Amino acid sequence: MSEWKALQEWGAALQPPTASPVGLRNRVLAGVAGSDVTVRRPLTLPRWGWRLGLAGSLAAAVTVGVLAVQVLSVGDRAPVSQASAAQVLEQAARHAGSRTAVTVRGDQFIYVASITTALSRPEGAGSASGAVVEAKRRQVWLSADGTRDGLLRVRDKDGAGVRDMVLPGCSGGLEKHSKGGEEVSVPCKPTANYVRDLPSDPQAMLQYLKQRGGDTKNPPDQDAFSAAANLIREGYLPPKSLAVVFDALATLPSVQVVGDVTDEAGRTGVAVAITEVQGTRTELIFDRKSFAFLGDRSVLVRDQDGLPAGQVMSAAAVLSVAVVDQAGQTS
Amino acid sequence: MVTLARPASDAAVIEVSLRDAERFGVLYDRYADQLYRYAYRRVGPAHAEDVVAETFLAAFRRRHTYDLARPDARAWLFGIVTREIARWRRTEEARYRAMSRAGTDPASDGLADRVAAVVAAQASWRALADAVRRLAPADRDVLLLIAWGELSYEEVAETLRIKVGTVRSRLHRSRRKVRAALGENNPTNVEVDDE
């Protein structure tokens, strides 16, 4: 046997039993998001079954505490435990549609406060066994028309360790990035964080969501659901548009109800969810009574990478949404 | 959302990822498996994930410096993984040492199943592990990038930023050493045919 053939056979015997683990991908993409200070938009990576826990929701006045959301009378609806996903989403649409629209000027900011968690591994931990769930308090200010510098402020759940990141706006076709302490300008096109011209009809909305889901090999329903989650999770949509998003999701047969979930703020709710081919389930959580959007979670549906089925990979609970004039302003 | 034309080059993906970090995932999907396979064989199951994660994160941080004139990022990524593996040199060498004694990597699940079928080969694996451990790190990189990473000479030159002639001479030297080690181990089975 030649030494070359021997080397190759030995190499074949040393091969890993599987392809690169899904958890590794999540870890890398989480790290990418965490190390990237140049993001304009909140990073969301649903097509890989992962996202930096973000959340977005309704807003009616300048500052809206979701916890204080009023109970909307919805008549003699079926109990949540028996409700179908379509029913939950229809109620969510009714709730959304009942809110008063807030006027948002292009030069303003959408402010969203949330509690987020993400699964991470301490530096150097080689296996999933070292994974820990980290909860953060997160505040984000997103330029409505995308031309101004936004701000992301993350701190530990106990309030310590404040970290600010500028989210560069695209002004005059250029956005400024800080690179090794130096400022560089990169050509850009502004990306509005407040989207006004969404389709007003559920079928058209569904087409839009499928398209927006991107050029993936995922099932189109999964892409549409991911795109919808991205749209609503950390931001503010005109109430009518939000209602149409929920109406569009209500037409997807693969969306299911998950009863009795507790979000990161300790609120219980009902969730509608889609199971992704990557082995995770993305849940949109609604208040049981008002059907206000509370937040979202991503949960493993099968044992994977040393983590058990049911493990929450990331979650976000929206605490408040507001429209403000300056980044850093909370009301 | 930035839309990529379907078969976008790696360079185009990296360029887009400068503005849209999400897109970096495309590069991950293209190369994760081969980098993982390569790292797994060199540093073992306990550290392969760390090496690959650090490789992609380093690549992401350095994506501003990527030469966009090079459409294919494979050599660039293998260069980064090579530097990451270098940080685990003691681990890697300890692993070869263990294998040269045991014939198998005790920590590797995948190997156990296949051991029975290839018991005969184990003597040569022990010799190989010992020989590879003794190689100079720079020679080992060349040898394994070609034998296990399946890179061409030109790609190795680009990966390690050395001349193709240097690739050839390092490969020649390391193959000679490995061959000699195999010969010592199994004198009845000496073949010195270059393929």
Q: How far is A9 from chain B (nearest CA, A)?
A: 9
Chain B residues with CB-CB distance to A193 below 8 A: none
Output the pLDDT for position A61. 26
Q: Which two tokens stand for residue B175?
A: 């193959």
| Closest among A250, A253, A258, A323 to A296, alpha carbons compared | A258
Residue-wise burial string across A188-212, b where 16 or more C-beta atoms lie within 10 A, e elsewhere = bebbebbeeebbeebeebbebbbee
Determine, for residues B178 and A3 on separate chains, whether the beta-carbon distance falls below 8 Å.
yes
* Facing residue for B61 by CB, picked from A8, A35, A47: A35
* Facing residue for B148 by CB, picked from A11, A126, A212: A11
**In 3-state terms, what secondary structure has residue A222?**
helix
Give the mutation candidate from A1, A20, A35 for the B interface (greatest B CB count, under 10 A): A20
Instruction: Give me the CATH topology for the region B9-87.
Output: Rna Polymerase Sigma Factor; Chain: A (1.10.1740)
Chain A residues with CB-CB distance to B124 below 8 A: 1, 6, 10
- Domain parsing of chain A, residue ranges: 20-324
Give the mutation candidate from B23, B30, B49, B126 for the A interface (greatest A CB count, under 10 A): B49
Numbered ranges of CATH 1.10.10.10 in chain B: 92-188
Output the pLDDT for position B5. 35
Output the pLDDT for position A62. 27
* Facing residue for B193 by CB, picked from A2, A38, A214: A2
Chain B residues with CB-CB distance to A7 below 8 A: 128, 143, 147-148, 178
Determine, for residues B53 and A27 on separate chains, whether the beta-carbon distance falls below 8 Å.
yes
Q: Which two tokens stand for residue A106?
A: 């292009």
Q: Which residue of B has its CA nearest to A174?
A: B19
Q: How far is B163 from chain A (nearest CA, A)?
A: 22
Chain B residues with CB-CB distance to A4 below 8 A: 147, 175, 194-195
Cα–Cα dist B92/A285, whole Å: 47
Inter-chain Cβ pairs, chain A and chain B, closer than 8 A: 144
Residue stretches of chain B with pLDDT short of 70: 1-8, 19, 102-122, 184-195
Give the mutation candidate from A32, A47, A119, A277 for the B interface (greatest B CB count, under 10 A): A32
Stated as kind and residue range, the H or E segment containing A141 is strand A132-143
Output the pLDDT for position A129. 52
Q: Give the phi and the psi of residue A315 in degrees, each rounded to 5.
A: -155, 155
Determine, for residues A10 and B22 on separate chains, whether the beta-carbon distance falls below 8 Å.
no
Q: How far is A190 from chain B (nearest CA, A)?
A: 11
What is the per-residue DSSP string for chain B? -----TT--HHHHHHHHHH-GGGHHHHHHHHHHHHHHHHHHHH-TTTHHHHHHHHHHHHHHTGGGS-TT----HHHHHHHHHHHHHTTHHHHHHHHHHHHHHSS-TT-HHHHHHHGGGGGGHHHHHHHHHHHHHS-HHHHHHHHHHHTS---HHHHHHHHT--HHHHHHHHHHHHHHHHHHHHHH-GGG------
| Contact residues for A310 (Cβ-Cβ < 8 A; gap 6+) | A299, A300
* Bridge partners of residue A284, in order along the sequence: A272, A296
Chain B residues with CB-CB distance to A186 below 8 A: 18-19
Chain A residues with CB-CB distance to B53 below 8 A: 24, 27-28, 31
Residue stretches of chain A with pLDDT short of 70: 1, 34-83, 119-132, 177-184, 213-217, 304-306
Q: Which CATH class is domain B92-188?
A: mainly alpha
Residue-wise burial string across B72-111, b where 16 or more C-beta atoms lie within 10 A, e elsewhere = ebbbbbbbbbbebbeebeeebbebbebbbeebbbeebeeb
Q: Which residue of A has its CA nearest to B107?
A: A14
Cα–Cα dist B174/A326, whole Å: 63
Determine, for residues B25 and A45 on separate chains, whether the beta-carbon distance falls below 8 Å.
yes
Q: Which residue of B has its CA nearest to A31?
A: B57
* Facing residue for B6 by CB, picked from A3, A27, A215: A215
Determine, for residues A35 and B6 on separate chains, whether the beta-carbon distance falls below 8 Å.
no
Q: What is the sign, positive or negative, of the torsion defined by CA atoms of A283, A285, A291, A292?
A: negative
pLDDT tens string A142-159: 999 989 988 888 888 888
